[in-house]
Amino acid sequence: QQQVKQSPQSLIVQKGGISIINCAYENTAFDYFPWYQQFPGKGPALLIAIRPDVSEKKEGRFTISFNKSAKQFSLHIMDSQPGDSATYFCAASNRGGATNKLIFGTGTLLAVQP
């Protein structure tokens, strides 16, 4: 119940295209859903996050769509660029919980071809 399932495992997109990564969770106590971007040899960097009281959040080319009833959320990268090539992790946490720790998805390796 603590798992966060992420798909696809890898994704190849042409420059200018839309990259879509999906995540699903089981624990209804989760109330914070961030996305992290990680480049090789670096730590993850917070990209964008959403709480379950909204269905969509947009920051620049990055949008999170959230479906509370389906317990799913997704990251959309519009106008994908080669510089977006990285590994993306979704995560979830229960911010009111005792430890408030992040549960990470398995990651998606995105390659944007020029």
Partner 1 sequence: GAVVSQHPSRVICKSGTSVKIECRSLDFQATTMFWYRQFPKQSLMLMATSNEGSKATYEQGVEKDKFLINHASLTLSTLTVTSAHPEDSSFYICSAREGTGFSNQPQHFGDGTRLSIL
**How distant is the alpha carbon of residue 72 from its chain centre?**
11
Shortest Å distance, C-beta 14 to partner 1: 23
Q: Does 12 bind partner 1 (CB under 8 A)?
A: no
Answer yes or no whether residue 100 interacts with partner 1 by CB under 8 A.
yes
Instruction: Kindly state the smallest distance separating residue 79's Cβ from partner 1, in Å.
Output: 26
Number of residues this chain uses to bind partner 1 (CB under 8 A): 21
| Residue 83 lies near partner 1 (rule: CB under 8 A) | no
- Residue given tokens 């839309």 in the structure block: 18
Q: Which residues, 6+ apart, have CB-to-CB distance to 60 below 8 Å?
A: none
CB atoms within 10 A of CB 23: 25
